[in-house]
Structure formats: structure tokens, C-alpha cells
């Protein structure tokens, strides 16, 4: 449990550092409007509660959404069904652990993959993704067999045309 808390603290510190760097770069313009920086458009400062719109995870879990919430970048408040299905299949704690173990550059892809896997698991509780993969593999095998049959038929017609042309040439030579 304390390892998870340490990871969340590390993520929170990293987000704070990134937002501090971005706020110092945005305040370099000289107009009055831009002197405030763009921080006022992003919401409250890091470490405080996100009072504007909580992410889908925090809405479903009925908790306050902090700036360093591990779910907010990946589960939009406008698509709560995505987190609902992921939570139903994997659980919020497991999802946060999975997302923390994945490199930050791949977390969005991991979250999308979790959403897909959860939706498939809800549709097919026994086989899940393996059922979909198996069905697609069977479809590929059937299409490959059909392609092989069509290629064989094309070759048969080509040989028939060359045989007819050769027979006609032999008849012409004999005449």
C-alpha cells in the first residue's frame, strides 16, 4: 500500500515540476493578459482539488479528483462508460497499478487497450479477447484458402489459353 502511495507522490511531484516549468515559459510575454500566464485557464494549481470537472474515474468512485489523479489524463469525464467497464472488469486499484508500471509515453495506449479488453470481456466473459482473436484467425484462414483456390483457378485458365493457342499454332503449321 505504501509503495502505491509513494508512486502517486512521485507522479504528483513530477506533474508539479512540469506545470511549474510550463507556467514560467508562458509568463514571458509582456501584455497584461499574458502576464498572468495560461495557468488560470488550466484550473487550480497542482496539488489542489480539481473542482471544475472530475475525471470519469473519480465520478464513478464518488471521490474528489486531485490534479495528480492518475486516471484523469486517460479517462475523460465526457466518456464515463469507458472507465465504468474497465472498473467492472479489472478494478480501480489494479488499473492504477497497471498504468503506473507502464512508461508514461505508452500509458494512453495502455488505457485504450484496457478499455477494449474490458468491453470484449463484458461481451464474452468466457473467452474475452481470445475469442475475438480466434474468430479473426479463422476468418483469415478461410480467406487464405479462398485466395489459394482463386489463384489455382486463374492458373488453370492461363494454361488452358496457352494450350489452345499452341494447338491452333500446330494446326496452322500443318495446313
Would you give the DSSP letter of residue 66? B
Q: What is the pLDDT of residue 91?
A: 92
Please give the residue that has the higher pLDDT: either 7 or 159: 159
The pLDDT of 63-69, averaged and rounded, is: 86
**What SS3 string covers 74-95?**
CCCCCCHHHHHHHHHHCCHHHH
Q: Is 131 left (phi over 0), alpha (psi -120 to 50) or beta?
A: alpha
| DSSP for 149-171, written as a single string | HHHHHHHHHHHHHHHHHHHHHHH
Single pTM value for the model: 0.55
Radius of gyration in angstroms for the set of CA atoms belonging to the chain, rounded to a whole number: 30
The pLDDT of 145-163, averaged and rounded, is: 92
* Domain boundaries of the chain, sorted by first residue: 2-123, 130-175
The pLDDT of 73-80, averaged and rounded, is: 88
Amino acid at each position: 500500500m505504501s509503495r502505491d502511495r509513494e508512486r502517486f507522490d512521485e507522479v504528483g511531484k513530477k506533474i508539479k515540476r512540469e506545470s511549474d516549468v510550463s507556467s514560467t515559459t508562458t509568463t514571458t510575454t509582456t501584455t497584461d493578459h499574458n502576464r498572468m500566464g495560461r495557468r488560470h485557464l488550466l484550473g487550480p494549481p497542482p496539488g489542489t482539488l480539481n473542482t471544475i470537472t472530475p475525471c470519469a474515474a473519480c465520478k464513478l468512485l464518488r471521490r474528489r479528483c486531485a490534479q495528480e489523479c492518475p486516471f484523469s489524463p486517460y479517462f475523460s469525464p465526457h466518456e464515463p462508460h469507458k472507465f465504468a467497464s474497465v472498473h467492472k472488469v479489472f478494478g480501480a486499484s489494479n488499473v492504477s497499478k497497471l498504468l503506473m508500471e507502464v512508461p508514461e509515453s505508452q500509458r494512453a495506449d495502455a488505457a485504450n487497450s484496457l478499455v477494449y479488453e474490458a468491453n470484449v470481456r463484458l461481451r464474452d466473459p468466457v473467452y474475452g479477447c481470445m475469442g475475438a482473436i480466434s474468430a479473426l484467425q479463422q476468418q483469415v484462414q478461410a480467406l487464405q484458402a479462398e485466395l489459394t483456390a482463386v489463384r489455382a483457378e486463374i492458373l488453370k485458365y492461363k494454361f488452358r489459353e496457352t494450350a489452345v493457342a499452341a494447338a491452333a499454332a500446330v494446326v496452322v503449321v500443318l495446313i
